[in-house]
A and B are shown apart, each in its own frame.
Chain A
Amino acid sequence: MIRAGRVLALSLLVVLLAPPACRDDVDPFLPDQRPVPGSTVRLTYSPGNERSPAWSADGDSVYYSAETFETQPGTPGVLLRVPRTSGSAAPLLPNVQGAGSVTEHWLLAPAPDPSGERLAYVEIVTTWTLHPCSTPFSGCNPPLSEVEARLPPPRRVAVRVRGVDVPNPTAEDTSVVMDAPGVRIDSEGIRTAIVNVYPYLRHFADDAAVGFRASWSPCSSRLVLSDGLRLRTWTVGADSAVTIPNTQDGVWPAWSPGCEWIAFTRLERADSTGATCLYTDEMGALICQQERTEYTVGRHALMRIRADGTGLLDLGDGDEPAWSPDGSALYFHREGRIWRSEPDGSNAVPVPDTEGGHEPAVSPDGRFLAFTRRGNAGTYDVWVTTLEP
């Protein structure tokens, strides 16, 4: 008995002291986890505007453009991607807008094609100087504030297409370049800037709204875009874009998944006001002048048309249309929130949790809706909400 007891005691001791590491290495500190989002998630918080959300082909990320980002602190437009469930944003074009990039590019409105292999985007290639004349002496009739007297920014705008993850500079992308309508300089005699602040320019300046945005045709290698005053279609690689008739003042185009229709917003002009600014030198001699017409925006009409310009249909009030992936529904901004309707604009219902929402974009699987919303700081942020089945 005693012997058996010793055997048992020894065996227990050996088992208890068995070398396989009973003590593990000291646990390292694990970095903090980001908060688990609910059904409606705010993805961006930066002080600047984040606009033009679009979905990656796999639906896991939301693309958007941001005013400034850490890698490009002074750039007014940076294309970024952020996980749908919230997380760290990263440049879409790291070779162009990543850390260490020297040249600044003002890039807006990312639009991946349905396959996800190509990316279309808008670049503000050149801008007007803020003042038409370099003199501090001015007089405007009627008086205009300094802000109002400035020229609107876009001068030449390009819509570009590149393969995802290619390293070449933007200048090598397949592009169509347009003059942004609104400013004309007449240099014969006294330098004169003829400025028409069209509704799209008003939105661009006040809201960072990108009416130029391009939308892919699901059926061909074509895009529909706006130059601010009309819609155009562009076959990728062609030298120029073709105007779609009956689309004056059309912005925010969206090509339907069935390829037949193009939804867009017509910013109808309401009143206009004119002013003339005279700029003199220190001796009082006139050196240049600005003839300025400001258009106020009337109705935001949600429209539908075919690519050849036929079948124009007024769908009611609405901005920034987007199609559901199956083409069975249309999402748009109306009365301060996002709405959903039939493709003909009927049976419109508000989308829950989208108060203050703009620029809807539906995920490829139809389950989520990305949109922008103005926050407390007065700037736009990107949000994602779950769509009810």
Chain B
Amino acid sequence: MAVCTDPAPFHCIRRLLQALAVCPSLLALAATAATAQATGRVIGRVLDADTREPVVAAEVRIENTDLTTLTTERGDFILSSVPIGEHRLKVERIGYRPVVLNVLVRAARATRLNVELPTAPVEVEGIGVEVERVRLIEPDVIESHQVLRGEELRELPVDDVEEAVELTTGVSEGRFRGGRVGQEVYRIDGLEVKNQAEAATTGTGLELAPSAVAEIDVVVGGFGADNGAALSGVVNYVTRRGNPERWDGRVQLLGDHLAPDSYAWGFTELSASAGGPLRFMGEGTTLFADLLFQGLIDADPRARGLTCLRPEDGDAQLAETIARLRDTPSAAHLYCPYTSERIPHQRGDKTIGFLRLDQQLGSNVELMASFLYNRRQLELYTPEFKYNLEHQLGQRTEGFLANLTLDWSAQHEGRIYNLIGRAALVRLDRYLGVLDPSTFSERSRVAGFGLSNFRFLGEDFTRSPIEEQLESGAAVPGYAIPGGTVGSPFGPAAEGIFFTEGTPGIANWNRTDYLATDLTGSLLSAEGHALRAGLNGRFYRVESYERALGYLTGNLPSFARFYPTTIAGYAEASLLAAHDVTLELGLRIESFQSGISFREDRANLLSPIVDAEWHTEVMPRLGMAVPVPGTFGRLMFRFNYGLVAQAPDFRFFLDTTLGDSLRANIRRQGNPNLAFERGTSWEVGADMLVTDRLSVGATGYLKQLHNLVTSSLTFSGFAENQFTTGDFGTVQGLALTVRGRWGWIDLRAGYTLQSAKGVTSSAFEDPGEGLTERRLEFPLAFDSRHQFDLTALAGRAAGVETRWSVSVTGAARSGYPLNRTFTSIEEGVEPEVGERLPWIGTLNLRTSWQFGELPLCGGCTWRAVFDGRNLLNRDNIIALRRDTGTLAPPTAELEAIADEIPFDFQPIPLESPNYSANVDLDGSGLITADEMRTGRLAAALDRNDPSLFFGSGSAMRLGIEVRF
């Protein structure tokens, strides 16, 4: 056995290598074509089980691969380019009993483990040790995160990856630890893909199908300097690559057409994926393809379906009003005339296509090329248009991502050098407008899904050169002033309440194209130290078009085309110090510029035009993971601190309407010179492995956010109604997690107690009452005090070879604040929340039975799947009216609408085109003023249907899955 005495261990290893050069199991880089984005690293130390001294020159290898290395003088080893997934790692050394471990390798991460070799004077059979698939405790990890593997993801009752991200403790309805939607960043195979134009209002923009995902890593706190453009969280998606050995795949068909009416949304999903080697392109070249089609009759189903106000939904006066209507035989038919299990005018479909090619270009260079396509299109139910048979609002979002990654890796003297270059082209396009009636009458659909795009009225016009539109001043072709007196259950009484003719007025589209470039370098040592540095740039072209009253001639649109740029650089060091303490120090610098030239003073036509400034932010990040000595890694503490920042959504550079103001054409003034939104984040946590199968954790966190985008501030120094970064807030909380694995069951549960406060005004809501110049924090609109979540996997879902599989997910959260008005403006008096929305809870289940081989398909297996959502059939209330705190408006408001009858009203005779027998309550052939009033009251009740105030409804689906 060679003994290395050279004090410079790297030189020693080199001599050992030279000595063992003829050995085919020498240190070698992976020959398998695996990119850094579908590969990880294994780092560890081999110790003598008795003496706990390092074992030098022990051979460490991944079975069934060419990946092998020798331990250093300190017993350390490092293996790079290990394909992600489960592997058997064998450690052996003459004089010791070999040890075999099952390890889980995760993408772009280092799996750390310590191996103890028992001494054995003679050859004996090796010891197999089961290492947890995902570690129950990670003594070397600084950040707070949760990992979901692809195999688990496909067993869960989720329709998309967003629902899977929701299962992470601290994430609720797209909000990460009390942050606003849009404060997180998404990465696909290491590439940051954020919908920077309008993340806060329209979400991610690009999504992967669950069947295309190898792993999701959701980081809710303590993310390092390599992550930017986020205040609250990072979601890392790793896509699947083809199997290098053989072609395999999966097809699944799932639908709810057989379910009872109250459990069916008209949902159909077909997903198919396949991957395998392309040997004609070179050894190790693989291709993976994935398709997902979803057809939806009701794309946004709600618990009560299309419903109406019930007596208990409002005040006592409402109950009396409804009772009066129902108890009048001639008028009873006017109460609740139109209900349905599913909400009408919410048809839609979704298409996701993904293609990935991996190829070895040389011994050290990997190429990965991927293409992602998204299309999601749906009608948008609008209560005032629910009786309009021709025209509804709709929305189509399309996304394209083409990504090219080159990954160079080299291993030398116990160090791994890695350089990754990425270039990607991304397009995100969203169109919101009035659907062409032929979209559903002439477009072929199967089970709600159609291959062709939705057609919108006047889309060619709204996308034509803006100069031509401004010159013509024409209305959007096809748009018409909303109105109508027939077609609803209330006939002429519904005039002005429901629009049975004409169209909505909105025409709005946004297109963001950008080129993303990344260069990242890293150096890892077998001792566990790492240095990373990177640069990235995003070069955007953003077009934004908005027209609120498209049916009016002369109503001008708001349009902008501009070229923002974001660049960032970072450097980070990760050190493994004494006692296995991990230290991370990082620094990130980000800059952005809106690319807009604007008049310095909009009120003064003579003021100069200036260019938007570059804004720069420097963000140090610090973190520490400390295993408690003597606990053998079973107890550890975490601490991290960092400054975080993100560029504001580009839409706030422009005059824009938001929320309900879109319909009223109220624009808030854009600000091309907005600065970064910033925050400071602290986190302290502890994790303990209670038993080998159970771990618990607790994390306390504090985030102070500054410079959040807002409008409507009346503080002095800000232009009224202009976007500015003047909002601020504080989030603090405590997260408790439990993780357990017992044979065939895998359990994860979490609870978060949290407080999220901020100023009363924001870009997203009305300021409320009692606004003063005092900079006082209120509970934010999305401040949920308590959050529980649960994920349980059993049988095949937990990775056990059984025929059956069960997975259950559950979540419960306390309600958001209903009103946040001042109760007092005295100094030192805290603002109070009068009421909160009720608790929300859901329970979902997915179960399957494997039948085995599929006839007529050699090598295929198939199973039947049952998927149930909101099984407790809970009518979760997700919103209430602020003015009443109930589902119903004030009854006085309904009465006022009912009384809106012209003083010179003439009775409407039967032969009038406006006549409706429904409102001619006495059947006299004349609709009198009293009958009109009753009809208007009923119409006002119906118009305020609370359908959208409820969460998702229950659903049951059946499906089959075939694997080959």
A contact set with B: CB distance below 8 Å? 3, 6-7, 9-10, 13-14, 16-17, 19-29, 31-35, 42-47, 68, 70, 73, 80, 82, 86-90
Task: Tell me whether A21 and B447 are in contact (CB under 8 A).
Answer: yes
Ordered nearest first, which 10 A-B pairs have the shortest CB separation? A45-B925, A22-B257, A46-B909, A45-B909, A26-B344, A89-B911, A88-B913, A23-B266, A45-B910, A19-B447
Task: Knowing A6-B851, A17-B960, A32-B489 are in contact, say whether A26-B913 is a contact too (CB < 8 A).
Answer: no
Check if B456 is an interface residue, CB within 8 A of chain A. Answer: no
B contact set with A: CB distance below 8 Å? 253, 255-258, 264, 266, 268, 270, 297-298, 306, 337-338, 340, 342-347, 386-387, 389, 440, 445-448, 486-489, 491, 851-852, 854-855, 862, 864, 906-907, 909-918, 923-926, 958-960
Task: Tell me whether A21 and B911 are in contact (CB under 8 A).
Answer: no
For B445, give its contact among A21, A27, A68, A70 (CB under 8 Å): A21
Task: Tell me whether B488 and A89 are in contact (CB under 8 A).
Answer: no
* B345 cross-chain contacts in A, Cβ below 8 A: 26
Task: Knowing A22-B257, A73-B906, A88-B915 are in contact, say whether A10-B448 is a contact too (CB < 8 A).
Answer: no
* B910 cross-chain contacts in A, Cβ below 8 A: 34, 42-45, 86
* B257 cross-chain contacts in A, Cβ below 8 A: 17, 21-23
Task: Tell me whether B440 and A17 are in contact (CB under 8 A).
Answer: no
Task: Tell me whether B912 and A89 are in contact (CB under 8 A).
Answer: yes
Per the bound structure, the CA–CA distance linking A23 and B911 in Å amounts to 38
* B959 cross-chain contacts in A, Cβ below 8 A: 17
Per the bound structure, the CA–CA distance linking A110 and B516 in Å amounts to 76
* B906 cross-chain contacts in A, Cβ below 8 A: 47, 68, 73
Per the bound structure, the CA–CA distance linking A90 and B915 in Å amounts to 13
Nearest CB of chain A from residue B902's CB, rounded to whole Å? 12
* A17 cross-chain contacts in B, Cβ below 8 A: 253, 255, 257-258, 958-960
Task: Tell me whether B911 and A43 are in contact (CB under 8 A).
Answer: yes
Per the bound structure, the CA–CA distance linking A17 and B257 in Å amounts to 7
25 A-B pairs whose Cβ atoms sit less than 8 Å apart in the complex: A9-B851, A16-B258, A16-B958, A17-B253, A19-B447, A21-B257, A23-B256, A25-B266, A26-B297, A26-B342, A26-B345, A26-B346, A27-B344, A28-B387, A29-B387, A31-B916, A42-B925, A44-B909, A44-B911, A45-B926, A47-B906, A47-B926, A68-B906, A70-B913, A87-B911
Task: Tell me whether A32 and B446 are in contact (CB under 8 A).
Answer: no
* B306 cross-chain contacts in A, Cβ below 8 A: 26
Question: Taking CB as reference atom, which chain A residue is nearest B440?
Answer: A25
* A23 cross-chain contacts in B, Cβ below 8 A: 256-257, 264, 266, 297, 447-448
Residue among A3, A7, A24, A70 with max Cβ neighbours from chain B (10 Å): A70
* A29 cross-chain contacts in B, Cβ below 8 A: 337-338, 386-387, 488-489
Question: Taking CB as reference atom, which chain B residue is nearest A69?
Answer: B912
* A26 cross-chain contacts in B, Cβ below 8 A: 297-298, 306, 340, 342-346
For A70, give its contact among B338, B487, B914 (CB under 8 Å): B914
* B918 cross-chain contacts in A, Cβ below 8 A: 32
Task: Tell me whether B297 and A25 are in contact (CB under 8 A).
Answer: yes
Task: Knowing A17-B959, A19-B268, A45-B924 are in contact, say whether A25-B347 is a contact too (CB < 8 A).
Answer: yes
For B917, give its contact among A3, A19, A35 (CB under 8 Å): A35
Per the bound structure, the CA–CA distance linking A33 and B343 in Å amounts to 24
For A45, give its contact among B347, B489, B911, B960 (CB under 8 Å): B911
Task: Tell me whether B448 and A21 are in contact (CB under 8 A).
Answer: yes
Main secondary structure of the interface of A (DSSP, over half): loop
Task: Tell me whether A10 and B911 are in contact (CB under 8 A).
Answer: no
Per the bound structure, the CA–CA distance linking A130 and B217 in Å amounts to 90
* A89 cross-chain contacts in B, Cβ below 8 A: 911-913
Per the bound structure, the CA–CA distance linking A89 and B917 in Å amounts to 15
Question: Taking CB as reference atom, which chain A residue is nearest B959?
Answer: A17
* A22 cross-chain contacts in B, Cβ below 8 A: 255, 257-258, 447
* B447 cross-chain contacts in A, Cβ below 8 A: 19-23
Nearest CB of chain A from residue B210's CB, rounded to whole Å? 20
Per the bound structure, the CA–CA distance linking A22 and B255 in Å amounts to 10
Question: Taking CB as reference atom, which chain B residue is nearest A375?
Answer: B925
* A68 cross-chain contacts in B, Cβ below 8 A: 906
Question: Taking CB as reference atom, which chain A residue is nearest B343?
Answer: A26
Nearest CB of chain B from residue A56's CB, rounded to whole Å? 15
* B917 cross-chain contacts in A, Cβ below 8 A: 32-35
Task: Knowing A6-B852, A21-B445, A47-B926 are in contact, say whether A90-B913 is a contact too (CB < 8 A).
Answer: yes
Per the bound structure, the CA–CA distance linking A316 and B179 in Å amounts to 95
Task: Tell me whether A13 and B440 are in contact (CB under 8 A).
Answer: no
Nearest CB of chain B from residue A132's CB, rounded to whole Å? 31
Question: Taking CB as reference atom, which chain B residue is nearest A33?
Answer: B917
Per the bound structure, the CA–CA distance linking A70 and B906 in Å amounts to 9
Per the bound structure, the CA–CA distance linking A9 and B862 in Å amounts to 11
* A44 cross-chain contacts in B, Cβ below 8 A: 909-911
Question: Taking CB as reference atom, which chain A residue is nearest B305?
Answer: A26
For B960, give its contact among A13, A31, A34 (CB under 8 Å): A13
Instruction: Contacts A6-B855, A17-B253, A21-B445 known; list 16 others, CB within 8 Å.
Output: A10-B851, A16-B258, A17-B257, A17-B960, A22-B258, A24-B297, A25-B297, A26-B298, A26-B346, A27-B344, A29-B386, A35-B923, A44-B911, A80-B911, A88-B913, A89-B911
Task: Tell me whether A32 and B297 are in contact (CB under 8 A).
Answer: no
Per the bound structure, the CA–CA distance linking A80 and B258 in Å amounts to 53
For A19, give its contact among B337, B446, B854, B925 (CB under 8 Å): B446
Nearest CB of chain B from residue A62's CB, rounded to whole Å? 10
* B911 cross-chain contacts in A, Cβ below 8 A: 43-46, 80, 82, 86-89
* A21 cross-chain contacts in B, Cβ below 8 A: 257, 266, 297, 445-448
Task: Tell me whether B446 and A10 are in contact (CB under 8 A).
Answer: no
Per the bound structure, the CA–CA distance linking A26 and B925 in Å amounts to 32
Question: Taking CB as reference atom, which chain B residue is nearest A6?
Answer: B851
Per the bound structure, the CA–CA distance linking A10 and B962 in Å amounts to 11
Per the bound structure, the CA–CA distance linking A43 and B911 in Å amounts to 7
Per the bound structure, the CA–CA distance linking A3 and B960 in Å amounts to 17
Task: Tell me whether B925 and A20 are in contact (CB under 8 A).
Answer: no
Nearest CB of chain A from residue B299's CB, rounded to whole Å? 11
Per the bound structure, the CA–CA distance linking A294 and B864 in Å amounts to 96
Nearest CB of chain B from residue A79's CB, rounded to whole Å? 13
* B342 cross-chain contacts in A, Cβ below 8 A: 26
* A80 cross-chain contacts in B, Cβ below 8 A: 911
* B337 cross-chain contacts in A, Cβ below 8 A: 29
* A82 cross-chain contacts in B, Cβ below 8 A: 911
* A16 cross-chain contacts in B, Cβ below 8 A: 258, 958
Question: Taking CB as reference atom, which chain A residue is nearest B916?
Answer: A32
* B914 cross-chain contacts in A, Cβ below 8 A: 70
* A47 cross-chain contacts in B, Cβ below 8 A: 906-907, 909, 926
Task: Tell me whether A88 and B960 are in contact (CB under 8 A).
Answer: no
